[in-house]
Amino acid sequence: MTAGAESLTPAPLTPASMRRSRDVPALVERARDGDPRAVARLVTLVEDADPLLPEVARALARHAGQAHVLGLTGSPGVGKSTLTNELVRVYRASGLRVGVLAVDPSSPFTGGAILGDRVRMQDHATDAGVYIRSMSSRGHLGGLSAATPQAVRVLEGAGCDIVIIETVGVGQAEVEVASLADTTLVLLAPGMGDAIQAVKAGILEVADVFVVNKADRDGADATVRDIQGMLGLGERGPGQWRPQVVRAVAARGEGVDDVVAAIAKHRAWLSEHGQLQVRREHRAGVEVEQIALGTLRARIGSLRHGTALPALAARVAAGELDPYAAAADLLAGLAQP
């Protein structure tokens, strides 16, 4: 997550943005009332690292932890968007509000536009209880946008009961989405060699639910067997979750109820074992750390363009000062916000 942290550091407040700051609590209220434009505006503020970002975060704080956050990952073509669509259908049928963050440039939800424009899934286009947002990856390695944690907060603040983060599986992405989610789903398809890849990428450690999609195809049994075999190799204590393996044919809606049941089972396990709290505190810690690091990078950047660093660098180049002493000097200057 380090690479993208900088992009979450808001620019300094300007007179114009200070005027706009009066609107933030009102915007959050409108989002809670179900106004999709208010939700879209808040996510845009987050994506743009707007100077109002800390204020948005402040207004959203008390709504934290109200949604069950699902991470959904897997290789391209494995059926992530189809399954997401089906999950939205099932959850909406139970009257839950659902938010989707598609952090995947190849997602059909984005309609080819990867720069964060707001679009709706066709099936749910007229449903006010569903928010769908494609997030640009902002050049962030691993594909997961640095803005994603704050976007999750917006959707929680907007009253979503379920937030689905859909991200393309390229190894590191699974691990990252798992660090944001309460429940991580990894999608596989028969004959894609994904089971082996999953081991290599360390996905066995982060997946809470494996979904073998396209389970009507040849090789589905072998894929399920592979995963269960690999899961059997790892030792698990009595207090550890044993990842579920579920078959589905998302394109026909088959097995989706089983996926939802596995998610619910995991959620119940998390609560019973106090792990929901553990995961969320860990997640908040990573988030705070990333914001702090981004702020420090921005401060160092402004020193670079100011006079402190060039003056120190000239003394180091002249042999009057060693670089460690100069770095200590620089850090003393950073203490002031």
Neighbours of 140 (CB within 10 A): 22
User: What residues have CB less than 8 Å from 316, skipping those under 6 apart?
Assistant: 322, 323, 326
Which of these ranges, 162-170, 175-183, 251-259, 286-294, lies near a second copy under the rule CB under 8 A? 286-294
Binding to a second copy by residue 323, rule CB under 8 A?
Answer: yes
- For residues 192 and 204, the answer to whether their CB atoms sit within 8 Å is no
Total of chain residues touching a second copy, rule CB under 8 A: 53
Q: Which residues pair with 75 in a beta bridge?
A: none
CB of 155 to a second copy, least distance (A): 15
Binding to a second copy by residue 321, rule CB under 8 A?
Answer: yes
Binding to a second copy by residue 18, rule CB under 8 A?
Answer: no
Binding to a second copy by residue 171, rule CB under 8 A?
Answer: no
What is the residue-wise DSSP string for 103-163? E-TT-GGGTT--S------GGGTT-TTEEEEE---TT-TTS--TTHHHHHHHHHHTT-SEE
Sheet with 130-134: list strands edge to edge: 130-134, 98-103, 162-168, 68-74, 183-188, 209-212, 244-247
Residues 287-316 that bind a second copy (CB under 8 A): 287-289, 291-293, 295-297, 300, 304, 309-310, 312-314, 316
User: Smaller CB distance to a second copy: residue 50 or 86?
Assistant: 50
Binding to a second copy by residue 11, rule CB under 8 A?
Answer: no
User: Smaller CB distance to a second copy: residue 90 or 321?
Assistant: 321
Spatial separation of the C-alpha atoms in residues 166 and 87, rounded to whole Å: 12
Binding to a second copy by residue 284, rule CB under 8 A?
Answer: yes
Binding to a second copy by residue 108, rule CB under 8 A?
Answer: no
Binding to a second copy by residue 13, rule CB under 8 A?
Answer: no
CB of 107 to a second copy, least distance (A): 26
- Residue for token digits 């200070």? 18
Q: Is 54 exposed, middle or buried (0-12, 13-18, 19+ CB in 10 A)?
A: middle
Residues 34-63 that bind a second copy (CB under 8 A): 53-54, 57-58, 60-63
CB of 282 to a second copy, least distance (A): 7
Binding to a second copy by residue 12, rule CB under 8 A?
Answer: no
User: Could you tell me how many residues make up the chain?
Assistant: 337
Q: Is 61 exposed, middle or buried (0-12, 13-18, 19+ CB in 10 A)?
A: exposed
User: Smaller CB distance to a second copy: residue 57 or 87?
Assistant: 57
Q: Which residues pair with 68 in a beta bridge?
A: 162
**Residue ranges in contact with a second copy by CB under 8 A:** 53-54, 57-58, 60-65, 149-150, 277, 280-285, 287-289, 291-293, 295-297, 300, 304, 309-310, 312-314, 316-328, 330-331, 334-335, 337
